[in-house]
């Protein structure tokens, strides 16, 4: 379990008086939600436009399989786009798009509606309809959002694959969900240069061969770089979508209609396809975006820096913010291209008021120095958010002081791909925030820290983070694997009906919650969840590797970093640095650059119990420079000294 230093007397920051006076959500919401949960969530659902009203808020009769807003019908794309145009807000900017090379586009809600309608008509012309799966593999460009909303408009289910994932990772996701169409681009821009995407799609489909379910590949022209084109399957977006009609009538779908599948690393090598449906998910995303960011859509300019390939991009760039009708910034590139002040330059240019980013980015800016953001006018900001991993108190304080000018509250949000919406967070007009603490469950949410038996731990104690009651945006199942859904999330505390989040947590002396990190074999690297077994499988697929063990080690920049311990095949000499670099590159090819180990140590043996189980906690001790813990259960305790010596040599190299 990754620890987080909790100050003995945590600093508190009271809500700014002016924000508290006009806050969207006040303290009374907690009691109201507690006394009448169904009434509270019915009220939040009325943020949306329903084609047919729901007859029941929650059907929990087949727990843990939930049905929210029973019998209700709606269309997610209509709620995110059309209704704002119909209300006379079509001229309002939906997105200020900033490309990494410096190109910009302002897209109004009326223009977004036309683009989504054209794309919906184009998908229909390609034989895509309700119940079909579409894989989206795009950079951070407007077409990614248009593609998602076009799928939602016609009832197709989308699965967005992060553009940094490899062809192999893309192939596994296409194969698992049986995607009928892939939407990609020639590439995007990354650190000042074109970064190709279409070749990875070609490689993925080639890998699947005759088992590929894909009929067509729709390609957005972004960089203009040459890409191979198969006239039998490949189509240019500008030809197919550009020539389609902007007139399209959205169809209403059941509240439980599948909206998207998002793959997330699990404790086995196979990624989990997490299924989110429409009505509950859209309600949860819109409500929490409104409440936690104290959103004033008529005046706020909101910017979430997440990639569209992760759940944060789904809930807090696409569905929540667009349902709330806000103006957003959408940026394609990295924070250091073409210079390290790029993000602050964008905030200054567009007058961003609400900013949502990851602790990894904040710690990187800290290393670069405050003189960079100090060059820019950040006075438009009124609220800062943190997402993806626990934020350490030092980063929180730097963020609040340097970026927020000691006037902006920081909302440190805890939630997961599985939860679909924020679950634990300060309310900016209510909570006296503590640096490093996620604080309390939001109104309507049940969360607790419990011991092995599921009993709530006393203040000042640590345990397991659980969710004690259902919530609207909760995952409905795992794609084509309901048994794994129940086993993964609901069996540990089955008698109590608790959802086990996989995270450890602590209650401080006030009962506020501090997230301590994963307790299973999943790492959190720069806010991205990676499976140790998936990386181990990638390493072992290399012809020179016999066995591998991977752990997540604390890292001051990324939160956790991948550290691998590898046994070579018998008789295989160690080529030192050349081999470790080859193995790192191999992992990047198999999974993606995000999974590349920070350090690989070649070892003669791994620490195993007599039953053959690898003791990863001992490897984590070595990787983080601690004294090695109890080795009495190992079949050969002496192996730890050999590993520690090799690790020191490897780190020195």
**Is the pTM for the entire model greater than 0.95?**
no
Burial degree of 510 (CB within 10 A; 0-12, 13-18, 19+): middle
Asked if residue 64 has a cis previous peptide bond (ω within 30° of 0), the answer is yes
192 is in an annotated binding site: yes
Mean pLDDT within 54-82: 98
What mean pLDDT do residues 571-593 have?
84
Q: Which stretch of DSSP H or E encloses residue 323?
A: helix 320-323
532 or 333, which is more confident?
333
Residue by residue, DSSP assigns 367-397 as: HH-TTTGGGS--TT--EEEE-SSPPPHHHHH
In the chain, the percentage of residues whose pLDDT exceeds 70 is: 93
Mean pLDDT, to the nearest integer, of 131-139? 97
pLDDT tens by residue, 452-469: 999 999 999 989 999 999
pLDDT of residue 428: 97
Would the annotation count 585 as a binding residue? no
Counting every residue, how long is the chain?
653
Nearest to 584 by CA among 572, 568, 601, 567: 601
Say whether 417 counts as a known binding-site residue.
yes
Pick from 130, 233, 139: nearest CA to 181: 233
Domains parsed from the chain with CATH numbers: 522-652 (3.30.300.30)
Q: Is 572 annotated as a binding residue?
A: no
> What is the pLDDT of the chain when averaged over all its residues?
92
526 is in an annotated binding site: yes
| Contact status, residue 486 vs residue 62, Cβ threshold 8 Å | no
Comparing CA positions, the residue from 169, 151, 200, 171 lying closest to residue 264 is 169
**Can you tell me the mean pLDDT for 144-161?**
98
152: tokens are 């939602």
If pLDDT is split at 50, 70 and 90, which confidence band does 322 have? very high
Residue 545 marked as a ligand binder: yes
Mean pLDDT of 125-139: 97
pLDDT reading at 259 higher than 70: yes
69-128 pLDDT tens trace: 999 999 999 999 999 999 999 999 999 999 999 999 999 999 999 999 999 999 999 999
Note the pLDDT of residue 266: 56
Higher pLDDT, 316 or 393: 316
How many Cβ atoms are within 10 Å of 249's Cβ, its own excluded? 10
Averaged pLDDT for residues 584-595? 90
**Is pLDDT of 574 > 80?**
no
The SS3 assignment for 617 reads helix
CA distance 463 to 516: 9
User: What strands, in cross-sheet order, belong to the sheet with 93-98?
Assistant: 104-108, 93-98, 327-331, 301-304, 354-357, 383-386, 410-412
243, pLDDT greater than 80:
yes
Tokens of 439: 């604080």
* Residue 190 is labelled as binding a ligand: yes
User: 135 by DSSP, 3-state: which?
Assistant: strand
Give per-residue pLDDT as tens, 157-171: 999 999 988 899 899
With contact defined as beta carbons under 8 Å apart, do 620 and 607 qualify?
Answer: no
584 labelled binding-site residue? no
Distance of CA 379 to the CA centre of its chain: 28
Compute the average pLDDT of residues 342-352: 98
Give yes or no for residue 7 having a pLDDT over 70.
Answer: no
518 is in an annotated binding site: yes
Q: Are 382 and 356 in contact (CB under 8 A)?
A: no
Q: Is the pLDDT of residue 527 over 90?
A: no
Instruction: Give kind and range of the element (H or E) at residue 601.
Output: strand 599-602
Q: Are strands 327-331 and 301-304 parallel, antiparallel or unpaired?
A: parallel
For the chain, state the CA radius of gyration: 24
Question: What are the pLDDT digits (tens) for 408-454?
Answer: 999 999 999 999 999 999 999 999 999 989 999 999 999 999 999 99
Specify the pLDDT at position 269.
56
Q: Is 389 annotated as a binding residue?
A: yes
- CB-CB contact of 278 with 77 (8 Å): no
Residues 301-315 have a mean pLDDT of 95
* CA–CA dist 480, 177 (Å, integer): 8
Q: Is 388 annotated as a binding residue?
A: yes
Sign of CA dihedral 62, 65, 68, 72: negative
Report whether 312 belongs to an annotated binding site. Answer: yes
Question: What average pLDDT does this structure show over 308-328?
Answer: 97
Is 529 annotated as a binding-site member? yes
Residues 6+ positions from 639 with CB-CB distance below 8 Å: 604, 605, 606, 607
Determine whether the annotation assigns residue 44 to a binding site: no
The Cα 513–Cα 439 span in angstroms is 5
| pLDDT, position 635 | 62
Query: Is 542 labeled as ligand-binding?
Result: yes
527-531 average pLDDT score: 74
Q: How confident is the model at residue 611 (pLDDT cuts 50, 70, 90)?
A: very low
Question: According to the model, what pLDDT value does residue 3 have?
Answer: 46
Check if the beta carbon of residue 247 is closer than 8 Å to that of residue 264: no
CA distance 203 to 617: 37
Q: Answer yes or no: are the C-beta atoms of 418 and 465 closer than 8 Å.
A: no
pLDDT category at 53 given cuts 50, 70, 90 is very high
How far, in Å, CA of 290 to CA of 274, rounded? Answer: 24
Provide the pLDDT confidence category of residue 548 given band limits of 50, 70 and 90.
Answer: confident
> Would you say residue 544 has pLDDT above 60?
yes
Q: DSSP string spanning 536-591? A: HHHHHTSTTEEEEEEEEEEETTTEEEEEEEEEEPTTPPP-THHHHHHHHHHHHHHT
**333 labeled part of a ligand binding site:** no
Residue 244 has pLDDT above 50, yes or no: yes
Q: Which of 5-14, 466-475, 557-566 has the lowest mean pLDDT?
A: 5-14
- Report whether 60 contacts 470 (CB < 8 A): yes
Is 490 labeled as ligand-binding? no
Is 440 annotated in a binding site? The answer is no
519 is in an annotated binding site: no
pLDDT at 2: 40
- Kindly tell me if the per-residue pLDDT of 30 is higher than 80: yes
């Amino acid at each position: 379990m990754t620890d987080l230093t909790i100050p003995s007397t945590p600093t508190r920051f009271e809500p700014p008086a002016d924000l508290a006076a006009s806050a969207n959500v006040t303290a009374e919401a907690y009691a109201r939600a507690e006394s009448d949960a169904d009434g509270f969530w019915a009220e939040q659902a009325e943020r949306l436009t329903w084609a047919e009203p729901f007859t029941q808020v929650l059907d929990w009769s087949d727990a843990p399989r939930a049905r929210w807003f029973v019998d209700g019908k709606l269309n997610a794309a209509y709620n995110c786009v059309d209704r704002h145009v119909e209300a006379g807000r079509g001229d309002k900017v939906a997105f200020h798009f900033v490309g990494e090379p410096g190109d910009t586009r302002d897209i109004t809600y009326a223009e977004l509606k036309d683009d989504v309608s054209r794309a919906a008509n184009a998908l229909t012309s390609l034989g895509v309809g309700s119940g079909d799966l579409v894989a989206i593999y795009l950079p951070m460009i407007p077409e990614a959002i248009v593609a998602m909303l076009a799928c939602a408009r016609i009832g197709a289910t989308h699965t967005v694959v992060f553009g940094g994932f490899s062809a192999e990772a893309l192939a596994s996701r296409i194969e698992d969900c049986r995607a009928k169409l892939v939407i990609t681009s020639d590439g995007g821009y990354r650190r000042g240069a074109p970064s190709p995407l279409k070749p990875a799609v070609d490689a993925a489909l080639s890998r699947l061969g005759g088992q590929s379910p894909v009929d067509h590949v729709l390609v957005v022209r972004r960089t203009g770089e040459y890409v191979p084109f198969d006239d039998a399957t490949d189509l240019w977006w500008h030809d197919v979508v550009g020539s389609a009609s902007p007139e399209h009538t959205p169809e209403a779908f059941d509240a439980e209609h599948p909206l998207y599948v998002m793959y997330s690393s699990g404790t086995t090598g196979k990624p989990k396809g997490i299924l989110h449906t429409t009505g509950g998910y859209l309600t949860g995303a819109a409500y929490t975006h409104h409440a936690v960011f104290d959103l004033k859509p008529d005046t706020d300019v909101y910017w979430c820096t997440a990639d569209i390939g992760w759940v944060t991009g789904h809930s807090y760039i696409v569905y929540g913010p667009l349902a709330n009708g806000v103006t957003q910034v959408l940026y394609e590139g990295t924070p250091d291209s073409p210079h390290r002040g790029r993000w602050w330059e964008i905030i200054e240019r567009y007058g961003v008021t609400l900013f949502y980013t990851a602790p990894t980015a904040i710690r990187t800016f800290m290393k670069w120095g405050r003189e960079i953001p100090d060059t820019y006018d950040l006075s438009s900001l009124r609220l800062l958010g943190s997402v993806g991993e626990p934020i350490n108190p030092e980063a929180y304080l730097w963020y609040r002081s340097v970026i927020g000018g000691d006037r902006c509250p920081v909302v440190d949000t805890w939630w997961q791909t599985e939860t679909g919406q924020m679950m634990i967070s300060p309310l900016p007009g209510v909570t006296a925030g503590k640096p490093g603490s996620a604080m309390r469950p939001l109104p309507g949410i049940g969360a607790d820290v419990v011991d092995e038996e599921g009993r709530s731990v006393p203040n000042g104690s640590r345990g397991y983070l659980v969710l004690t009651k259902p919530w609207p945006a909760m995952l409905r199942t795992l794609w084509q694997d309901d048994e794994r859904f129940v086993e993964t999330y609901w069996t540990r505390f089955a008698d109590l009906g608790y959802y086990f989040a996989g995270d450890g947590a602590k209650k401080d002396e006030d009962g506020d919650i501090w997230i301590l990190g994963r307790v299973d074999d999943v790492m959190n690297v720069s806010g991205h969840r990676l499976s140790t077994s998936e990386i181990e499988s990638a390493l072992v697929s290399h012809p020179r590797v016999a066995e591998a063990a991977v752990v997540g080690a604390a890292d001051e920049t990324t939160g956790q970093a991948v550290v691998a311990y590898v046994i070579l095949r018998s008789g295989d000499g160690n080529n030192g640095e050349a081999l470790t670099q080859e193995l790192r590159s191999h992992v990047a090819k198999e999974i993606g650059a995000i999974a590349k180990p920070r350090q690989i140590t070649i070892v003669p043996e791994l620490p195993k119990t007599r039953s053959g189980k690898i003791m990863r906690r001992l490897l984590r001790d070595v990787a983080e420079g601690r004294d090695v813990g109890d080795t009495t259960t190992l079949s050969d305790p002496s192996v730890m000294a050999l590993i520690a010596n090799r690790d020191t040599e490897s780190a020195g190299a």
